[in-house]
Amino acid sequence: MPREFTPKVVTANALLEGDVVYLTADDRWTRHLSEAELITDEAHAQLRLLHGEGQPDHVVGAYLADARQGLDGPEPVHFREEFRRTGPSNYRHGKQAETRDV
């Protein structure tokens, strides 16, 4: 039996800056996971991924990452995605230090 679909977000790295971005429901790329579209339907997820992959002039390496609904929008399920939305743990660099929008 196929595994049950778990909620996802479309994420990638920005082409120019290289930092982590997420696809929003209104087709923007945001730096904030909390603004990402949380996708609960598998077929819709594939469509949204295709939409992300179709923008090679903006992003690199789009993929579907597991996420769950939190109080303030989607939250990571896996620790790798937690680091991606925060930044490294040895310096206050990356997202934890920068909160600008695309």
Partner 1 sequence: MYDYTDFDAAFVAERNRQFREQVERRINGALTEDEFKPLRLMNGLYLQLHAYMLRVAIPYGTLNSRQMRQLAHIAEQWDKGYGHFTTRQNIQFNWPRLRDVPDMLDALAEVNMHAIQTSGNTIRNVTADHFAGAAADEVADPRPVAELIRQWSTDHPEFQFLPRKFKIAVTGSPNDRAVTRAHDIGLQIVDRDGTIGYRVIVGGGLGRTPMIGKVLADFVTQYDLLPYLEAVVSVWNLLGRRDNKYKSRIKITVHEHGIDEIRARVEERFKLIRPSFSGVDVELFERIKAAFAPPALNTADTAAFDAAYAADPVFRSWCDTNLSPHRAPDHAIAQISLKAHGATPGDATAEQMRVMADLAETYGHDELRISHEQNVILPHVHKSDLPAIHAALKEAGLATANIGLISDIIACPGMDYCALATARSIPIAQEIATRFEALKLEHEIGDLKIKISGCINACGHHHVGHIGILGLDRAGVENYQITLGGDHTQTAELGQRTGPGFSADEIVPAIERIVHAYLDYRDSPDEAFLQTYRRIGMGPFKTALYEEAHAHAAQ
Q: Measured from the CB atom, is 75 or 83 closer to partner 1?
A: 83
CB neighbourhood size of 40 (10 A): 12
CA distances from 64 to 10, 42, 60, 83 (A): 5, 10, 13, 16
CB of 78 to partner 1, least distance (A): 6
Q: Measured from the CB atom, is 16 or 47 closer to partner 1?
A: 16
Q: Which residues pair with 83 in a beta bridge?
A: none
Q: Measured from the CB atom, is 14 or 24 closer to partner 1?
A: 14
What is the binding site for partner 1 (CB under 8 A)?
Answer: 13, 15-20, 56-57, 60-61, 77-80, 83-84, 87-91, 93-95
